Structure 1
Amino acid sequence: MSRNPILNAALNAALSKVGAGDRIAVIAARFPAPEGVEVIDLALCDGVPSFKTTFELLMSQLDIDQITRTEELEKADSEAKSYIESLAEAKGAKMEALTYRQFKILAKSARFAVRIGEAEVQASVVLREREV
């Protein structure tokens, strides 16, 4: 039996294919799906699953070297911004902030996207797997 804490089969399959330099988008429920990117939809209702839970699980399964968020997150949810930055620091990952428009463009380069139940559109990030 697998000890992996992630039970979603589609998410596990996608994670098993992540390679060095690949990007994974974690997008809020109301964030527009990146065109041409597979979306693994975990959203059940507002807040389920939460950004924090999903972010922590992905960070525990991946070796992330960069986290990109929107500049607007600071105004929309400063607590989430601080939380993301603290996990980035703990993992030794660089932080990058882009405008919402730039972020939407970056999300299109993701290997896949994980849609969560977070209602705040700005609570979306792009994670980059460490390059060896």
Structure 2
Amino acid sequence: MKKDGILNPELCRAIARLGHTDTFVVADCGLPIPDHVEVIDLALVFGIPRFNEVLDAVRKEIVIEGITLADEARNSVTEHWIDERFKSDDLAQGIKYVSHEELKQLVSDAAFVIRTGETTPYANVLLRSGVPF
């Protein structure tokens, strides 16, 4: 048994398969996800687990080089959560903003989506995997 880090076997497998520039999404419980995109559904009930809790766990395991948020998330608690966690990081591509509709289209190219129990509007982030060297 693993002694720390993410324990969910599907999420561990998906993270281990990521390569440089692959994208994945940490999403609220309402984001529409195309049928062909793998969903790692962690949602238990509304609010559990929280978006920021899942983001914290994933961030410890993955090098992130780019972040995409919906324009609609500007000046929101979601943007605050992202700023709080990544402001000091040297992100190669920084934080990019697109319309919520465009973000939903970008989900189609993601390696996987982690569905949380989050109910905060626009609590969705597309993350681009980096390399540790």
**TM-score, length of structure 2 as denominator length:** 0.90
| Alpha-carbon distance in structure 1 between the residues aligned to 2:18 and 2:7 | 17
Does the CA-based 8 Å contact 2:5-2:61 persist in structure 1? no
1:83 corresponds to:
81
| Local SS of the residue matching 1:102 | helix
| Cα 1:92–1:34 shift into 2, 3 Å | farther
How far the C-alpha of 1:59 sits from its partner, in A, is: 1.0
Which deviations, in whole Å up to 9, do the C-alpha atoms of 1:67-104 show, x marking residues without a partner? Answer: 111111126xx232122023222222210111011101
What is the count of residue pairs matched by the alignment?
Answer: 130
Aligned-partner residue type, residue 24 of structure 1:
F
Runs of 4+ in 1 over 3 A off after TM superposition: none
Q: CA RMSD for the aligned pairs?
A: 1.5
| Local SS of the residue matching 1:56 | helix
| Alpha-carbon distance in structure 2 between the residues aligned to 1:90 and 1:34 | 33
| Alpha-carbon distance in structure 1 between the residues aligned to 2:85 and 2:65 | 11
Gaps of 5+ in 1: none
How far the C-alpha of 1:44 sits from its partner, in A, is: 0.5
Aligned-partner residue type, residue 53 of structure 1:
E
How far the C-alpha of 1:121 sits from its partner, in A, is: 4.2
| Alpha-carbon distance in structure 2 between the residues aligned to 1:70 and 1:34 | 18
Gaps of 5+ in 2: none
